[in-house]
Amino acid sequence: MPQHFTIAEHGCIRKQTNTLRHEQSDSFSSVFVPNKVFELLKQLSFRTNAESLLTYGVQKGQELIRLKNYVGILSLADGTQLEILPKVSSQSNVPQMREALLRLLRTVPDLPFHRLTQAQLHQAHLPLWEVFISAFIQELEQLTRQGIQKAYETVEEQSLFLKGKWQYHRQNYAHPEVFAIQHDQFIADIIPNRLLKTCVEQLVKQSRYLPNQSKLRKLRFIWEEVQVSTNLAADFQYIKHLGRSFDRYMQALKWAKVLLSNQSWNTHGKDINESLLFPTEQLFEQYVAQGFKRHCHEFDVVYQETAHYLLQRHDGKPQFKLRPDLVLRLSNAPLVIDIKWKRIDPNLPNYGIEQADLYQLYAYGQKYNASALYLVYPAHEGFAQPLPAFHFSEVLHLTVLPFDITQPLSKAIETIRETISNKTNPPTS
C-alpha cells in the first residue's frame, strides 16, 4: 500500500535513521520518511526543473530536503504521496491547514475545485486526495442518476447474421457462414464514458477511505458495460470538441483529468507534472482578489491592472509596466492593494516587511495618485490586527492588514472592508 505523509510548506524532510527514529518532529514543520522515499525525493531535488519546489542539503551532518512555497500533493514514482499544506500558524493542526488549502483551491481558475461544497470542506480530517475523490464521486453519482449518455458508434465484427454493411474485403471465405460486417450501435462505450470509467478503476486501487471505496465499487458495477481508455492523452484531446449534449459531463470530466493526470496550474516538466502542486503565493493572491470582487460591490475592483508604466524612455515610449494586485475605485482617488504570502512578525526588525515591497507600493501610490495603500499578509496568532500606519508622506499612508484564510471568505473580506472604510471615512468629531 502506498505511503502518505503530511507536512507544512517550507518544512524539512529527513530520513528515518536509527538515530532519528525516536525523535518527534515539531508540529508539522518536519517529517521523517523511510530511506527509500528520501532517496526518491533526493533524486528529484537534483533535477533542474525541481529547483523551485525542493532543495537538498546537509545540517549538522544529517541529510535533509527542504520544501519551498508550494502546496498540494507531490506523488513519487513508488506511489508515495507527500501532502504539503499551507502553514497558517504554529498552533495549527492538520485539519485546519487542510481546510484552509481547500478554501484557497476553490478560487483556482479552469479547474473543478470551485465545485467543492461546504460538506467537503468539512472533510478536512481526510487526506486531500480522498477529499478530491469524494468530490469526483459526487459528480459521477449525479451524472449516473441523470442517465449515462449513449451515442452511435461504428462497430466492426464477425457475425452469423447479416446486418449493416457487409465488408466483403474482410470476409474469411474459409468460413462463408460468418459475415464480416460493419454497423452502428447505440452504446454507452464511448470516449467520455471511458475516461470516467478509467478514473473509477484507478481510484478503486488508490483510495483508502472505506466510504469512497464502497461508492467506487458500486459505480464500477453500474458502468460495467463501459471499457477503460487505452489512450488518455488522445481521449482528453477528443473531448475538447464534444457537443452541447455533453455539457452535464464537463465537471466530472474535469475531475477525471485532475485525478488521472494530476493536473495543476504549474508544469514542472516531465518529471514533476504528475503532482498536484500549486504556488502558495499565487493561490493566496487569487483567493484575496476573488474575495474583493465577490464581496466589495461598492468598489470597482480591478485585478492586476496594467494602466500605468513606471517611466518613459528618451524616445517617449513607456517602459516597466506596473501591475498592482488590486485597484479599488469609488468616487475619490483609487486604493491600491498588494498581496503577499509572507509571515509578518511584530517582533522582527521592520516587522519582516521587505524594503523592495515598500518601494513597489510607493511607485504604485505615485503613478495612481492613490488615496491610500494597503499590504495584505496572511494572519496568524502573532499578527491578528493591522499594524500601526506607515506614512510615505503627509497625504500617502500605508496600512498593513492581516487576512485570515481559516475563516469563510466573506467574513475575512468584511473584516478588511471595515478597516478600509474607517480609514477612508474617518469619524468626524
pLDDT tens string 203-258: 999 999 999 999 999 999 999 999 999 999 999 999 999 889 899 999 999 999 99
Residue 285 in domain? no
Helices and strands (H and E) in the chain: how many: 11, 19
Question: Is 283 contained in some domain?
Answer: no
Averaged pLDDT score across all residues of the chain? 87
Tell me which residue range forms the domain holding 385: 296-424
Q: What is the pLDDT of residue 279?
A: 92
Q: What is the spatial distance between Cα 42 and Cα 55, in angstroms, rounded to a whole number?
A: 8
Residues 117 and 177 in one domain: no
Residue 158 CB neighbour total at 10 angstroms: 12
Any domain includes 289: no
- Residues 218, 193: one domain? yes
Question: Are 130 and 156 part of one and the same domain?
Answer: no
Which comes out higher in pLDDT, residue 173 or 340? 340
pLDDT at 264 over 60: no
Contacts of 9 (CB under 8 A, 6+ apart): 67, 68, 69, 70, 71, 84, 85, 86, 87, 280
Residues 160 and 219 in one domain: no
Coil vs helix vs strand at 275: coil
Output the pLDDT for position 306: 83
Supply the pTM of this predicted model. Answer: 0.85
Q: Is residue 288 part of a domain?
A: no
d(CA 377, CA 297): 22
Q: How far apart are CA 301 and CA 334, in angstroms?
A: 10
User: Which of 63, 111, 429, 43 has the alpha carbon at shortest distance from 283?
Assistant: 111
DSSP state of 106: T
Q: Percent of the chain at pLDDT above 90? A: 59
- Same domain assignment for residues 135 and 18: no
